[in-house]
Structure 1
Amino acid sequence: MTLSFLIGVDGGGTGTRARLCDTRGQVLGQGNAGPSSLSHGVPGAWLQILQAVERAFAAAALPTPRWQDCALGAGLAGVNAPEQAAAFRAANPGFSTLVVDTDSFTALVGAHAGEPGLVLIAGTGSVAEVWRPDGTRRIAGGWGFPIGDEGGGAWLGLEAVRLAQQTIDGRATPGPLSEAVCRATGHDADSMLNWCARANQTAYAGLAPLVFDHAETDAQAAALLDASVLALDALVHALDPQEKLPVVCSGSVAKRLQNRLPSVLRQRCREPRGDAADGALHLLRLKLAEAP
């Protein structure tokens, strides 16, 4: 077997990115595909990952090789569910080396370039993870939509839909946010129910930008962003109550909310030194270095 390529994958509830490198770490290309969170199912996750990988080879103007000539590291939403993670590993289509961890941990490793720190992720979902100087790691949040992921995009969208439902019922006063949600989902109960019956976490997350768009003109939208900030701050505090470690905010929602975070937390925020695909590649290289 000849190892020719290293691939780092960042897979979440909204999309998948695959970064293709040669064995020296030189980036050759990148490909994107649909969501590969394991909540969408293992076959669907592999389908999107392989599509992203094939597109990375196409972007590099290279033919897709045999998978046994490639090593793949992946950070995926849903890997913290042991049965899903085991099923994903068992479905490996043939990569010579496969390293899989949570998307939060690969984001953490990439953000701090393999050094101790904390990452706060809020995109479609929400989670925080810490890697302490003593080598221990711990996670807060990441329980998945709809039971958890407070403060993330799908949660914001769900809360916005609840507000719109209340205005349809007459339980709440219509405002710019509820009107915008109704335009997207339906102005009457039947239309709203049909939309909700079809919607998944990605669909709800697609409504989150409406909350940001109307926060300056709608007190209800501003209140939802305040609630999101409180939820995200609680994740960080649970992992680092001494408030000592550097923090990187990752994901579209966390980045847009960074200036709204409490000042003590905001002062600890740093620019990321890399992303989740970099983190997946870092873990992959560590695994390969351990091989005899």
Structure 2
Amino acid sequence: MNKMYFGGVEGGATHSNLVICNESGKVVGKARGPGTNHWALGIEECAKRIIDMVHAAKEDAGIPLDQPIDSLGLTLSGCEQESSNADLAVRVREKDGACAGAIYVASDTAGSLFTGAPNGGMVLIAGTGSNALLRTPDGQQYGCGGWGYLLGDEGGAYWIAHRAVKAIFDDEDGLLPSPHPTVRVWEVISEHFKAETRADLLPHAYKHFDKSHFAGLTAKLSKLAEQGDALSQHVFAGAGAALAAHAAALAERAHGARNGTSAALRVVCVGSVWNSWDALRPGVLKQLAARRVKIELELVRLKVSSAMGAAWLAAKHVNYSLPRDDSAFCEVFYTYRPDVNGKVNGTHNGKLDNGLQGCGFATGIVGYVSAKEKVSAASVISLSGRRDKYNFIADVVAVSAPSVVYIEIKDDRRRDIVTGQSITLSNGSGFIVKEDGLILTNAHVVVNKPNATVNVRLMDGSNHTGFVEDVDLKSDLATLRIPVKNLPTMKLGSSADIKPGEWVVAMGSPLALSNTVTAGVISSTQRASEELGLIGKDMVYIQTDAPITFGNSGGPLVNLDGEAIGINSMKVTSGISFAIPIDYVKEFLAKSKTKSPPVSRRYLGITMLSLTPNILFELRMRNPEMPSDIDHGILVWKVIIGSPAYNGGLQPGDIVTSINGSPVRSAGDLYSVLETAPGKLSMLIVRGKTRTTVTITPEIH
């Protein structure tokens, strides 16, 4: 049989995946790319990104770029309208006639559905939002929900977070008393939003509303539910009931179209909320029983990217049946079976689950009726083994810590009067990326005065002199090397597929305390440099609530697979820290091999942020005495000890509003002055509630 190739794209708003399969269903090429929602990008840019991924996957598969694959399936976010789908297919073919012989475009829900249930079934999405789609064996399709957070999103992460916040407000107001104590839920809400009072939440619901950040609260509520908090369990039970209502509505349509077949209806469960299945399950079962769902439901999780379903659709589009191994594509995690007596019977992980009694959080959901029941329930609860079961942060640290290093910059020309040791100019963190001693860190950690020595301390306590190999001030990245071989290395992951609410660990050496660990969640994956006022950076940052202190700078931001997905870069205020995505780092490492020698430039010795309206708002919230007429400038985040800025009197927290009499509105203005204005710089700054002037003489570096 002649070789055949079928491509499939799983396209979301923030990232995309592409696979190429051969005629036997084996994946021969892969590619990753940015978001491909044509409503957000425009069809022209969306088509370009698709073609770039096709080229990358062809190269990975060893397929010539001028050889069209037989068919390409695009299952993309936003592709619900047939007319615009057709326009996208035409534009892809116009831009690259050798892309594919045929192109099929459908929604991202179709990709998930055909990955897990190619012969008909239901997809039930519960991520930040929610959506449901049913496809019957005869090809009919029906939708339920998916109307967005203003009109729906029932059971999604935003919906869960909103319900928890509303429970606090309603209970405090006496509008609707909470069925369970609110203390622990309020603690989590307060920590997530950095709010001391309910009024502090209002900016997050109005002026600074960020749906992904709001939804990120759900991951923390899930942990509370696991720990036994009754209100969190109650909210998740409500989410389970809402998701089950989607399934019940579509199951009614499926029941009439199944012609008496007794086969189970497969439900493909997609999205981060399904990770909390134990908390959702009681509400799901109660709702299915109440709605008297009459058909068996087989709940499955995908084990592969839904790009595989897109490739399957592509083959189907040209009348080819692409082989597939169902067990490799998905796994059944629960089977619901209706009972003639109205009871709920199901199978969970192969074990019989009769009614609500076997569901982990059932007691917390229906609530306690009396103090006697509380005592009775507490007497059968066992906490044994929870440390081993839930110590996922400790597991990440055990794998990652050996590659994290402490970096110290010393000035050998100056000595401490008491100890006689070289003066420390700055310090930070880094991590080993190659076993031959190559270390990655922030540029602002190692860029310092000439003739300084870079000292690197490994986890085993040994100290080595490092040599800076490459620096990119624009991206704030640098590499240095120590003369040691066979070192433990940090695995580099991908920042293209990280999600808000995902757990991460920030590692480093704050205050010279090696291998210090903080944990938190991803608040945003796409915080643009322009949004932060970092003009000229041309990148997006990862925002996290994992604390990143000065000494953490240059250390890794690690996911739960033990992979570095970012480099800790800066902290704006409590709970708001930023990391450089690892995909930028990979580009930097690749370019450093062929990079020209660096040129001399004027050196100041600070790390800074342009003042955006959001940052100004945060600063005023924390410093009411700050002059009210400040509407521009740069915020000095860090001053390197011994640098020109340090010697000139500049301090962290200062706001520079003008240089040499000219207004400073962004970091780009300061860079321009350093490049063009010779001699000393006279800076007008605001410190606290007072204005003053400092004079700094930059050095050539």
Normalised by the shorter chain, which TM-score bucket?
0.7 to 0.9
1:235 Cα deviation after fit = 0.8
Encode CA deviations 1:216-244: one digit per residue, 9 max, x unaligned. 44333223212211211111111112496
Q: TM-score, normalized by length of structure 1?
A: 0.75
In structure 1, distance between residues paired with 2:127 and 2:209: 17
**What's 2:75 paired with?**
75
**Change beyond 3 A, Cα 1:286–1:181:** same
AA matched with 1:203: H
**Change beyond 3 A, Cα 1:198–1:239:** same
**Change beyond 3 A, Cα 1:187–1:200:** closer
AA matched with 1:148: G
1:166 Cα deviation after fit = 6.8
Q: In 2, are the aligned partners of 1:177 and 1:221 still within 8 Å (CA)?
A: yes
SS at match of 1:72: strand
- Give the alignment partner of residue 219 of structure 1, picking from 215, 221, 230: 230
**What's 1:65 paired with?**
65
- Give the alignment partner of residue 202 of structure 1, picking from 212, 218, 227: 212
Alignment of 1:43-54 (within 5 A): 49=50
- Give the alignment partner of residue 131 of structure 1, picking from 112, 135, 146: 135
- Give the alignment partner of residue 106 of structure 1, picking from 107, 111, 126: 111
2:273 aligned with 1:253, yes or no? yes
Alignment of 1:154-193 (within 5 A): 154-160=158-164, 162=166, 175-187=183-195, 189=199, 193=203
**Change beyond 3 A, Cα 1:196–1:207:** farther
2:148 aligned with 1:144, yes or no? yes
Q: In 2, are the aligned partners of 1:9 and 1:17 still within 8 Å (CA)?
A: yes
CA RMSD of aligned residues (A): 4.0
Q: How many residues align?
A: 286
User: Which stretch shows the higher mean deviation, 18-27 or 159-168?
Assistant: 159-168
2:310 aligned with 1:287, yes or no? no
AA matched with 2:217: L
Q: Which runs of 5+ in 2 are unaligned?
A: 257-263, 321-701
**What's 2:239 paired with?**
228
SS at match of 2:195: coil
Q: In 1, are the aligned partners of 2:158 and 2:218 still within 8 Å (CA)?
A: yes
Q: Going by fraction, where is strand more abundant, 1 or 2?
A: 2
**Change beyond 3 A, Cα 1:166–1:179:** farther
AA matched with 1:181: I
2:20 aligned with 1:20, yes or no? yes
Q: Going by fraction, where is helix more abundant, 1 or 2?
A: 1
Considering only CA atoms, is the larger Rg found in Structure 1 or Structure 2? Answer: 2
In structure 1, distance between residues paired with 2:185 and 2:52: 36
**Change beyond 3 A, Cα 1:128–1:57:** same
Higher relative contact order (CA 8 A, sep 6+): 1
1:46 Cα deviation after fit = 5.2
Encode CA deviations 1:47-83: one digit per residue, 9 max, x unaligned. 765666566567x375893695574312223222456
- Give the alignment partner of residue 285 of structure 2, picking from 253, 262, 270: 262
Encode CA deviations 1:125-175: one digit per residue, 9 max, x unaligned. 222222223332212122234432211223334444555777999988853
AA matched with 2:6: L
User: Which stretch shows the higher mean deviation, 275-284 or 261-270?
Assistant: 261-270
Aligned residues with identical type, % of pairs: 26
Q: In 2, are the aligned partners of 1:120 and 1:248 still within 8 Å (CA)?
A: yes
2:15 aligned with 1:11, yes or no? no
User: Which stretch shows the higher mean deviation, 186-195 or 166-175?
Assistant: 166-175
Q: In 2, are the aligned partners of 1:111 and 1:279 still within 8 Å (CA)?
A: yes
In structure 2, distance between residues paired with 1:51 and 1:84: 20
Q: TM-score, normalized by length of structure 2?
A: 0.35
**Change beyond 3 A, Cα 1:146–1:71:** farther
